[in-house]
Structure 1
Amino acid sequence: MKLLLSLSLLSQSSFREPTSKYWLQAQETHNFIVENLLTRYNSYRVNTTDQTNTAYEWYSASQIYADAAMIEAGDTRYVPYMNNSYAWMNNMWDMSSSIGGYYSTANIDGTGSVGDKYADDNSLTGVVYLNAYDVSTGTERVNYLNSAKACANWLIYSDQWDSIYGGGFWWSTAKESKPTQTNGLALQLFLRLYQLTGEPLYRDCAYSVRDWLMKEMFDTTTGLYIWKIDGPGVGIKHTEKFTYDNAIMIEAFLLYAQIIGDYSYITKAQALGTKMNTILWNNVYRVYLFNSISKRINPAWCGWASQAMILLYLADGNTAWLDYAQQNIDYMNLKLRNSTNNGYYAFCDIDGSGVDTRHEGVDQAWMQRVQVLLSNYR
């Protein structure tokens, strides 16, 4: 049985000439980003329409994630984009706090960092930095690891985890809900840091998050993870199933198997993938649904599943996972890609109607990333 090394999906491959259409489309997507979203400050606009002077943390982190995939595929032209964006992210870090944490929003020039701090954003950013660490050397490599540790440090000491509902990280400092995706991303970050540092604190945090997710968020009836639990004093469980929640949990379980050495988690990840492909996959249009009660499609949220399916392929060699990943991406290119400028629209109905024509930065980043990942195999 093959087993992935990390969420850095291309670490064992060498750069190939751009014969794959997905590699070419990833480059075209990046060109759109540079022309329409990248600013002279090395930040990224939220979108091209109504939020052109604002940057979001998780949008920016997702773009670093996408560029790290290009570098890992062997194209060093993307190194300056990744490192310059990382340097700009310092503007969003809370320098007034001893434990820091990224604010969710800033102006594109780096001023005005405001808003709640989000545990999922900070966790994702930490995971992204570890992917950047994997493709970096020297001082930059050290900096990426230290920044990932800082993200984890904020999670651990920010009171985002408490005993309400038996544990779990709150979505944000507003403490309105405890979602699966927030905790799944934290689990990924703790696992990767334990792998790199051997520090028991990260392992123990990973165990706590794993246990809470499996006890409180796993729906035994459907075999998928639910959306969230509402805030203090409410306690309502929202049992909708989101594609990205379950994709994140597949990624986390595969990491758990490799890092902790419990290979039963490969089976758990495979079972999740099978249930996703039963409940969250539309067989007519061959695409993942945003969630179990919606017929809307989004490049980032639905595209996340393609990354998870590629990871499953790397774990067990079953090319059926790649088929799902590819068909999902093909749908985005057919229904949501602007053929004039190669940017991606934000949403559409499952039949391709009802298009939301905003070009959101996070959607471009994720389409760039999943296409370069797929290009190594298709």
Structure 2
Amino acid sequence: MKHRFLSKRYWSSITTPMAEVVDLASKYKDIINLSLGDHDWITDKNVIDAAFKDTHQGHTKYTDSLGDPELREEIIKYYSEEYGYGLEMTEVMAVVGGCHGMHLVLEGILDDGDEVIVPEPFFTPYKHQIQLARGKMVALKTCEEDSFQIDSQELRNLITNRTKALILNTPNNPTGACYSKETLKNIAEIAVENDLIIISDDIYGAFSYGEAFQPITTLEGMKERTITIGSFSKDYAMTGWRIGYVLAPDYIIQCIRDINEGICFSAPSISQRAALHALSRRREIQSPMVDEYKKRVFYGYERICKIPKMSVLPPKGSFYLFVNIKETGLTSVEISKKILEEAHVLVIPGNAFGKCGEGYIRLACTVDIRALKEAFDRIEVICNNI
């Protein structure tokens, strides 16, 4: 939008399909929303009660700018218990959700024109976040035929003397892919050989349906060159609390702490208390939630396999299905519009996630199976008539 009062940097900005779905969600009274990855699962009642008890006891002030010490200690304990991975208090910072953490990290490590390699399809905000930090995003193509794994040689071919970092997101949004241990090991070797930083966006770690999730930072030699973005939004159904964390070498944490002083100083104290209680109760909280979402995505997979002109890989992780719609002969935008207008089901066109996303739509299984059944029944009618 061009206006004299707007920065010229944003005169050519185009609203993304991800942003547009917010307005579309209210278009029809009977809409089934499979677009944004926001839980229908409510934050655990015990977490809510404990957090608000803390509020009444005085946790309503600024915390340490690195975060509530008790929360950071609990994060350290979590990584020690789950992965045998050691952290110091100076290597952990609480942030206002994963996107806030990513912004701080990119702002802290990038010089003007530095390149960041991002596997495509990618979480839509990455490109804009890199641009805001004056960097350049370089897309690394992945494809369905390879289960959206990263090809080591393709990665090597993209590395230049301006390459600074590689963003990893596994389990992946939007594809649902989980990078294999072999893939992670190969990426680690390339990072060491080329002195690259890995920014590991680990926000769907609980939703891994095959191999157990392993953070790349826990691999030998990777701690010193890995920045981990963690979040409570997905793994604990806490999207509205806006709370996450960054793990990194202490000099990086100190840098992003200083940057954040001019943004919001600290994450909300009440959200940090909720995160603390969620983490300490993770086993009782996560198991039923993950089991439910696993049922949903596998139900969705089975339904899609029976719908003409649609296909999808078996689910590996996250709660998304990245559905191949190429046989319909329609673009991802055209089929998404048709599904919305004729079936009243809201999905996101694959081109929202980069060029490699064309020919796909993303479905978020964030409604119960009864609603999913109705959604797929409606979609099937459309595909039978294309």
Q: Same fold (TM over 0.5)?
A: no
- TM-score using structure 2 length: 0.25
Choose 1 or 2 for highest CA Rg. Answer: 2
Q: For CA contacts below 8 A with separation 6 or more, give which structure has more relative contact order.
A: 2
- TM-score using structure 1 length: 0.26
